[in-house]
Amino acid sequence: MTRGIGAIVAALSLVFVASPGRAFSPILTATDTQAALAEGQAAAATHLGYPVAGYILYAVPDALLIGPGQGSIDAIVVGTPFERVRYASYLAAFQNAQAAGSAVAAAAAPDTVDFIVFAHSGARGDQGFLQRFHAVALEAHGHTLQPAGMTTFGPADDFFTTSQGKRVIRWLGYDTFRFDLRALALAGIDVARLTGRLNIVDPYSRRYDVAFDLSKYR
C-alpha cells in the first residue's frame, strides 16, 4: 500500500494537535476496524485529500522551502494499525471500491507501528537519496529496536524554493520504517502508551532524534 506523492506536500501544511480521546491500539478490535474503514470512506467522500494532521510527529514549517542548513526530512507521520486501515479504506473509496479483506488485514498488522519519513533530495541529480537513510532505530524504556522492514515510494521531481527565492528542482518521496513492538510487550511494557525516541540519519549525515508518545495517536 503506497501513499501518493501529492499527500507529501498536503501533509506538511498541517499542524499536529493532540486529541484527548486518542489512544494507540496495538491490536484492533472489530469495532476499531469498522471505525477506521468508515473514517477512510468519509475522508474520500470530501475530495479534500487524505487528512493526516492527527498523525504528524515532525514537520518543517514549509515543505516547499529549502532553508539554509535544513536537512532532507520534511515530515514524519506515525502509521498505527488504525491509521493504516483508515488509509487503505480511503484509497479504495477514492477508486470507487471497497477495501479488500487482504489489504485491511495487512494494514491492521498487530503490535506494529510505522514511521513514514517524507523527504527531498539535496541535489537534482541525487535520485537515489531515499536508499541512503540509515542508523534508523527506536529507543524506548532501555530497549533499542531496529526496523523490521522498510519500503520506499518514489521519488518524483518537483519544484522547491530556496531561501534566496530561487526555484530549483529536487526529488521527493518517502520511506516507511516498520517496528515490531512484540518484544517490548513481552518485557511488560505498555506499548499502548509507549514513549521513546526515533533516531535516523539522513542521506547527507544529518542526525534526527525525535521524541514520540504513541498514546497521542489512535
* Model confidence pLDDT, tens digit, residues 69-102: 889 999 999 999 999 999 999 999 989 999 999 9
How confident is the model over 31-58, as a mean pLDDT?
A: 94
15 pLDDT higher than 80: no
User: Binning pLDDT at 50, 70 and 90, where does residue 11 land?
Assistant: very low
Average pLDDT, the chain: 91
pLDDT at residue 68, rounded to an integer: 82
124 pLDDT higher than 70: yes
What percentage of the chain reaches a pLDDT higher than 70?
90
158-172: per-residue pLDDT in tens?
A: 999 998 999 999 999
Give the 3-state DSSP-derived string for the chain, with helices as H, strands as E and coil as C.
CCCCCHHHHHHHCCCCCCCCCCCCCCCCCHHHHHHHHHHHHHHHHHCCCCCCHHHEEEECCCCCEECCCCCCEEEEEEECHHHHHHHHHHHHHHCCCCCCHHHHHHHCCCCEEEEEEEEECCCCCCCCHHHHCEEEEEEECCEEECCCEEEEEEEEEEEEEECCCCEEEEEEEEEEEEEECHHHHHCCCCHHHCEEEEEEECCCCCEEEEEEEHHHCC
What whole-number distance in Å separates Cα of residue 180 and Cα of residue 184? 9
Least confident of 16-25, 81-90, 131-140: 16-25
User: Binning pLDDT at 50, 70 and 90, where does residue 13 land?
Assistant: very low
Least confident of 11-25, 86-100, 138-152: 11-25
Beta bridge partners of 20: none
What percentage of the chain reaches a pLDDT higher than 90?
82
How confident is the model over 134-140, as a mean pLDDT?
A: 98
pLDDT at residue 44, rounded to an integer: 94
pLDDT at residue 70, rounded to an integer: 85
